[in-house]
């Protein structure tokens, strides 16, 4: 049920961070947060014990299923008695040691048998690291309703068209809506990010109020929207917040995040003064930036081409919803660019992260159907570099420089503002919310630690800041909470083509071996009854050696195969599995001695 108005129930008063009852001595040292005694060193170096015990009875359970050990795969589960809600359902892009994997999604094992208790999936915003897993997970957990604001809902529905899973139950909400989901009441507060309709989530529970920031920043001059609702955030803090879960992605950076207004002004100047075409690479989901570029280009009398499947899709959604406003004649196709003077052209495309098949990479490598780099081109990287992509981005920039283009990135000029809060922004958020407990989320472990340091600097006691791993269960009751030792499954679930969860660590290890050292196939015929070899074995190499140039090694390998089979234990020789294992072991050792490489050995035994 969705209601437009709901008076907020006043919650408990949290008092000051690290508050303790009058007369109770201040506890010094690190608390081991569990239901068992923990040891710590007091200021005099003496070992002491402090126990935090959760009381008997019903408790609020919170666990992060993804996003607390990586950037991406964001998903938080909140459970009270028989009511469960999930905040976000995102994907994580694969790492370099995961060949063939498209992306990684949250593990839903904990919800097996609890599908009927899931009241809904609440979406903070439309970035894929928060919605990308929905087509794969939601249909398999009972297809609960998905509550999302209009832009997020439109992106979810459009993405679902690419999959052949069950139709989703997407419910479009407004910031003012209040959702009654069993014993849990969900409402929203407006926040700024790099995409429209970004919101924080408020969950009122019988144990107290929990707030989840989603991805956020404070921007006093945002593009196409209002600044964050400071009055509502302050009111929530005044009423009382038991637990605040806060974004950590930029928690290691000092200061305040740059405003989109500054970026817009810088981009407008570059577009106006560029001697030729302007090619801007950015994220397809960074719609506030795309809006700025299109509208600034139109004012300057320039034509805008859009390239990249996801970029074109998102721009079409944003135009339909009225977020991007421009004349239809302003937008042209990439193949029409040569019909206009160079100084009248702006191209917005994907690929600023150096992605192999993205538009900007194809343009740089002369693989694009319509666009080639010209010496008069100005190429702007209007995005920060995602950790792990530094090498591919640098190679792409080098290629563009070699072709004479003028390359600009965010380190040279203010052509990118991050969508995540920096340290001073986090301080303001904490001061407004005044939560009793603070849980840094959404980032690698070091980012969670950096976020926690901000809370410590603001006066929060260490025992009131929970630094969690994925799957670690937090329990809360009225005015109290504990970080337990219980963990629910959060193992990687890989999406590989049409397969979900059918790629295991063993498969990845095999792929890594093939990528690094290749494969050797050994084909041998043996007598069915005796296990003796018939004829001479064949060797096929793929990715290991070039056979024509290593005839002597191939001959030696064949001799070793024949010897391995002839030396078989007579009692086991007729067992094909035993023969395959022996070939694999002996040939593996032999090839390593000769080459110091370990190719995958694949024996094929033909019984005659």
**Annotated catalytic residue, options 307, 420, 496, 517:** 420
Helices 260-273 and 287-299, interaxial angle, to 10°?
Answer: 40
Query: Exposed (0-12), middle (13-18) or buried (19+): which is 570, by Cβ within 10 Å?
Result: exposed
Give the helix ranges, DSSP H, for 138-242: 150-160, 230-239
C-alpha–C-alpha distance, residues 292 and 273, integer Å: 17
Tokens 């009793």 sit on residue: 436
Tell which residue, 255, 280, 319, has the closest CA to residue 408: 280
Give the helix ranges, DSSP H, for 249-333: 260-273, 287-299, 309-320
Neighbours of 395 (CB within 10 A): 13
Query: What contacts 437, CB < 8 A, 6 or more positions away?
Result: 242, 243, 244, 464, 465, 466, 476, 481
Tokens representing 74 are 């964001």
**Annotated catalytic residue, options 247, 377, 496, 517:** 247
Residue 253 bears catalytic tag = no
Angle in degrees, CA 459, 443, 81, rounded to 5 = 80
Sign of torsion over alpha carbons 283, 287, 289, 292: positive
Helices 309-320 and 287-299, interaxial angle, to 10°?
Answer: 80
**DSSP assignment string, 10-28:** P-----STT---TTPPPP-
Query: What contacts 114, CB < 8 A, 6 or more positions away?
Result: 84
Residue 420 bears catalytic tag = yes
Which run of H or of E encompasses 585?
A: helix 576-595
Catalytic residues: 247, 420
């Amino acid at each position: 049920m969705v209601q437009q108005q709901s008076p907020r129930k006043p919650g408990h008063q949290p008092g000051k961070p690290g508050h303790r009852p009058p007369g109770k001595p201040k506890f010094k040292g690190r608390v081991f947060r569990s239901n068992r005694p923990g040891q710590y060193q007091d200021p005099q170096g003496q070992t002491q014990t402090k126990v935090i015990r959760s009381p008997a009875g019903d408790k609020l359970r919170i666990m992060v299923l993804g996003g607390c050990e990586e950037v991406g795969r964001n998903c938080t589960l909140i459970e009270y008695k028989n009511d469960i809600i999930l905040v976000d359902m995102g994907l994580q892009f694969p790492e370099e040691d995961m060949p063939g994997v498209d992306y990684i999604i949250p593990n839903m094992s904990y919800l097996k048998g609890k599908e009927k208790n899931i009241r809904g999936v609440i979406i903070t915003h439309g970035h894929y690291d928060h919605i990308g897993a929905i087509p794969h997970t939601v249909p398999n957990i009972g297809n609960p309703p998905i509550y999302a604001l209009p832009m997020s809902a439109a992106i979810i529905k459009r993405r679902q068209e690419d999959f052949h899973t069950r139709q989703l139950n997407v419910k479009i909400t407004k910031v003012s809506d209040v959702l009654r989901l069993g014993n849990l009441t969900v409402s929203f507060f407006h926040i700024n990010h790099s995409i429209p309709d970004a919101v924080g989530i408020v969950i009122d529970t019988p144990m107290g109020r929990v707030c989840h920031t989603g991805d956020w920043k404070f921007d006093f001059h945002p593009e196409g929207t209002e600044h964050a609702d400071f009055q509502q955030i302050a009111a929530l803090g005044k009423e009382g917040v038991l637990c605040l879960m806060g974004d950590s992605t930029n928690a290691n950076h000092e200061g305040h995040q740059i405003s989109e207004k500054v970026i817009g002004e810088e981009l407008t100047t570059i577009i106006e003064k560029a001697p030729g075409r302007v090619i801007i690479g950015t994220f397809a989901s960074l719609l506030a930036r795309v809006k700025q570029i299109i509208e600034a280009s139109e004012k300057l009398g320039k034509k805008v081409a859009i390239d990249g499947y996801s970029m074109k899709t998102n721009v079409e959604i944003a135009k339909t919803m009225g977020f991007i406003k421009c004349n239809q004649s302003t937008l042209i196709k990439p193949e029409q660019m040569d019909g206009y003077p160079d100084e009248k052209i702006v191209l917005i495309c994907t690929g600023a992260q150096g992605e192999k098949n993205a538009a900007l990479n194809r343009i740089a490598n002369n693989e694009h159907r319509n666009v080639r780099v010209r010496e008069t081109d100005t190429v702007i990287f209007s995005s920060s570099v995602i950790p792990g992509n530094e090498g591919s981005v640098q190679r792409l920039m080098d290629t563009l420089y070699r072709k004479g283009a003028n390359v600009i990135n965010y380190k040279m000029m203010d052509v990118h503002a991050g969508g995540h809060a920096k340290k001073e922004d986090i301080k303001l958020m904490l001061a407004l919310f005044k939560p009793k407990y603070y849980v840094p989320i959404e980032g690698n472990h070091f980012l969670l630690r950096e976020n926690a340091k901000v809370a410590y600097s603001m006066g929060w006691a260490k025992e009131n800041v929970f630094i969690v791993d994925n799957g670690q269960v937090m329990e809360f009751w009225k005015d109290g909470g504990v970080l337990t030792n219980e963990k629910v499954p959060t193992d990687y679930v890989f999406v590989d083509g049409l397969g979900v969860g059918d790629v295991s660590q063993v498969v990845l290890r095999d792929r890594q071996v093939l990528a690094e050292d290749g494969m050797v196939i050994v084909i041998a015929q043996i007598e069915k009854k005796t296990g003796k070899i018939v004829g001479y074995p064949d060797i096929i190499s793929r990715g290991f050696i070039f056979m024509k140039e290593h005839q002597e090694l191939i001959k030696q390998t064949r001799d070793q195969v024949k010897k391995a089979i002839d030396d078989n234990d007579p009692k086991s020789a007729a067992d094909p599995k035993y023969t395959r294992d022996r070939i694999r072991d002996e040939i593996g050792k032999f090839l390593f001695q000769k080459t110091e490489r370990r190719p995958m050995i694949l024996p094929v035994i033909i019984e005659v």
